[in-house]
A and B are shown apart, each in its own frame.
Chain A
Amino acid sequence: DSGVTQTPKHLITATGQRVTLRCSPRSGDLSVYWYQQSLDQGLQFLIQYYNGEERAKGNILERFSAQQFPDLHSELNLSSLELGDSALYFCASSSHGTLTTGELFFGEGSRLTVL
């Protein structure tokens, strides 16, 4: 158990719909990362938040958005869903500071199926 919680574990929806994926980081971790992993593909970095602020952006589509709340949990919003958005979405968290080396701890992922 990594300590990172993602909900829901599975989600099936239709094209054109909007969904929200939720991530609770490990206690005390300030950074949250979102990744997308399509079938047999590698991990595509989407976005990173640190203590509520966006810090780095990857290949995140304009239809996708994310935020990190004051309690440090994060949500990834996916809208106008297309078939190609079907994938596993992973959240990871890490701590940062002079005494840490920033290991990433991943959740179990949210599997999104768009029909």
Chain B
Amino acid sequence: DAKTTQPNSMESNEEEPVHLPCNHSTISGTDYIHWYRQLPSQGPEYVIHGLTSNVNNRMASLAIAEDRKSSTLILHRATLRDAAVYYCILRANTGGFKTIFGAGTRLFVKA
């Protein structure tokens, strides 16, 4: 799997937007960009994914660069419950691959 690079940590104020960046310069044409988050003492949960176009769902938005070498997860209004580790990974729609999680970005949200 191609490698992703994320900042170790970020801080946000409650009710402000948060932009979490991810670099994936070695992405291949068949790789989907997935974001997961892990709340304290829980298993990771799926947030959003995309291939080429920007995506929106009830949890977040995903902005994908035109060359697909980077992406940004956008939380429109951070809440204290959004404090978590956010992982950006690349997944190909095939039957077998390692699905490596990096260190992720730990998001701190201040009240």
Contact = CB atoms under 8 A, between A and B. Distances in A.
A98 B101 contact: no
A45 B100 contact: yes
Interface residues of A, number: 28
Interface string B90-105: 0101111111111110
Contacts, number: 69
Contacts of A98: 93
A43 B97 contact: no
Contacts of A96: 93-95
A105 B49 CA distance: 13
Interface string A25-37: 0000001010100
A108 interface: yes
A91 B96 CA distance: 16
Contact of B96 (A50, A101, A105, A106): A50
B44 interface: yes
A62 interface: no
A104 B96 contact: no
Given A42-B104, A45-B101, A104 B95 contact: no
Contacts of A55: 95-97
B49 A107 contact: no
A55 B96 CA distance: 5
Contacts of A8: none
Contact of B93 (A33, A100, A108): A100
B11 interface: no
Contacts of B100: 45, 58
A107 B102 CA distance: 19
In order of increasing CB-CB distance, the 10 nearest A-B pairs are A55-B96, A106-B43, A43-B101, A103-B46, A56-B96, A56-B98, A50-B95, A106-B44, A101-B32, A42-B103
15 contacts: A42-B101, A42-B104, A43-B44, A48-B97, A50-B96, A55-B95, A56-B99, A96-B94, A101-B91, A101-B93, A103-B34, A103-B46, A104-B34, A104-B36, A108-B43
